[in-house]
Amino acid sequence: MSQEGGKILMIDDDEDVLLAAKMLLKKQNHQVLIEKNPNKIPFLLHNDTYDVILLDMNFSKDITSGKEGFYWLEQILTHEPKSVVIMITAFGDVEMAVKALKMGATDFVLKPWQNEKLIATINTAIKLKQSYLEVDKLKKAKEMLEEQISKPFGDIIGESTAIKDVFTLIDKVAKTDANVLILGENGTGKELIARAIHQRSLRKDKSFVSVDMGAITETLFESELFGHKKGAFTDAREDRPGRFELANGGTLFLDEIGNLSMSLQSKLLSALQSRQVTRVGANQPVPVDIRLICATNMPLQKMVQEGTFRQDLLYRINTVEIQVPPLSERMEDIPLLAKHYLNYYAKKYHKAVSSIEQQALDKLKRYPWPGNIRELQHAIERAVIMTDSNSLQESDFLFSRSMTNNASVDTLNLDEVEKTAIVKALNMHSGNISKAADELGLTRASLYRRMEKYGL
């Protein structure tokens, strides 16, 4: 019995044949509609859809030539070109069978049929129809994706000079295959930048594979990136391609690349140089063709000087470098970003919240946003959830007074004042520790100690 029945339409002028087929197919969990009069086919097609249509080749008007069957086959396929039609005839004429298949029939069965053969033929035809539907679904998903891609920089929202400079760099680098290194604080949208580059590249129809390097352990690194053979280790129950192979022909995005140990950096560099990977447990290398984009919030140049990041790997990954500005350097984009997230979360949580009061926007602009866009997103989400109004108010946003720009006026607590000054300096210099330390009149070591003290 089939696991999931299909909807079947059967047209034959022999009532005994119709009833016999209906009884057989209903036992197989199929929904069967039978019809003696072929002239009702247009009406039936207009009012319903069918997984499979069983169509007699010869009706009473024309006993043996099959012309009437060919005519109705053509009408069915004109109405729906992807109809799955099985032709039925008592005359085993090979030429008619070939002609029916050439016209678009899916299969051909002879009367009297063998029950097992008819059931197998129909089940196969249902699977074919399901594959047609799946392809249509994927096509629509691809069209929706392309529609999103065609929008200016998709989810990257902003009109500030700082973000427009990033847009310019994306446009310049996207059509090349140059390796790109994206630098920026946590929460600035580095992966969005990587996706925007891929979507505008010559590889846009291929895969974009994202890997969080900070989440991969030393022991799983090679398996995750290069793949493994069945039995290579205890949990390797089947052959599995790594991320490099999955991204073949497309883009591989390595996020948080600054977290890799020196030994893993060496393995990554070897794969990038040779443009091939070897699965764990295998001997044969697999060639790969990828466009590499990396991202980090860590100071790689400083790490090279300290001996914690390989200089040759840095040269390999940053043919072009893109610095993503923190939100504190693009405060004029806050109203646009806030409205975007307001609309998203109002829809998600079914809340009738449609606007943000100006006083609330002013408050958002005064806050330094150490967590950048991600923090703003969470603040808007919380406000939408908690508000009882259809407009977000200033009181819907709760920030520590020590993190607002006028903290020195609101508090005289020395710890809070010092913490605020550090946050301002870090934002002012895009997280550059050396410059922030100079701005504050501290050594780098002293600044690090204070950042650790305040959890920054």
Reported as half-sphere exposure (CB side, CA atoms, 13 A), residue 12 has a value of: 24
The answer as to whether 149 is a domain residue is no
Q: Are residues 9 and 22 in contact, defined by beta-carbon separation less than 8 angstroms?
A: no
**CA-angle at 47, arms to 42 and 52, nearest 5°:** 75
Whole-number pLDDT of residue 307: 94
Query: Closest Cα to residue 456, out of 428, 435, 427?
Result: 427
Indicate whether 319 and 194 sit together in one domain.
Answer: yes
Whole-number pLDDT of residue 417: 75
Indicate whether 304 and 396 sit together in one domain.
Answer: no
Angle between helical axes of 67-79 and 94-103 (0-180°, round to 10)? 20
Whole-number pLDDT of residue 452: 78
Distance from C-alpha of 124 to C-alpha of 294, rounded to nearest angstrom:
46
Q: Are residues 14 and 46 in contact, defined by beta-carbon separation less than 8 angstroms?
A: no
Residue 62: strand pairing partners = 59
Query: Closest Cα to residue 279, out of 209, 222, 219, 217?
Result: 222
Q: Please tell me the total count of domains within the chain.
A: 3
Distance from C-alpha of 440 to C-alpha of 438, rounded to nearest angstrom:
5
DSSP state for residue 411 in the 8-state scheme = -
Whole-number pLDDT of residue 302: 93
Whole-number pLDDT of residue 401: 53
- The radius of gyration computed from the CA coordinates of the chain, to the nearest angstrom, equals 32
Indicate whether 268 and 366 sit together in one domain.
Answer: no
Q: Are residues 353 and 390 in contact, defined by beta-carbon separation less than 8 angstroms?
A: yes
Indicate whether 243 and 305 sit together in one domain.
Answer: yes
Distance from C-alpha of 164 to C-alpha of 153, rounded to nearest angstrom:
11
Q: Tens of pLDDT along the chain (456 residues)?
A: 344 678 999 999 888 889 999 999 988 888 899 999 999 999 998 888 899 999 988 876 555 567 888 899 999 999 888 899 998 877 666 677 778 888 999 998 888 888 988 899 999 999 898 888 778 767 665 654 555 444 444 568 899 999 999 999 999 999 999 999 999 999 999 999 999 999 999 999 888 999 999 888 888 899 999 988 877 787 777 778 889 998 999 999 999 999 999 999 999 999 999 999 999 888 889 899 999 999 999 999 999 999 999 999 999 999 999 999 999 999 999 999 999 999 999 999 999 999 999 999 999 998 999 999 999 999 999 999 999 999 999 999 987 654 554 433 345 566 777 788 888 888 777 778 888 888 888 887 778 878 877 777
Last residue of a domain, one of 271, 294, 325: 325
> Please, which residues have CB within 8 angstroms of residue 427's CB and are 6 or more apart in sequence?
326, 328, 329, 368, 369, 370
Indicate whether 253 and 273 sit together in one domain.
Answer: yes
- Residue 154 CB neighbour total at 10 angstroms: 13
> Please, which residues have CB within 8 angstroms of residue 124's CB and are 6 or more apart in sequence?
107
Last residue of a domain, one of 296, 325, 354: 325
- Residue 203 CB neighbour total at 10 angstroms: 20
The answer as to whether 151 is a domain residue is no
Which residue range is the domain that position 175 belongs to? 161-325
Last residue of a domain, one of 118, 135, 152: 135
Indicate whether 339 and 387 sit together in one domain.
Answer: yes
Whole-number pLDDT of residue 2: 40
The answer as to whether 2 is a domain residue is no
The answer as to whether 155 is a domain residue is no
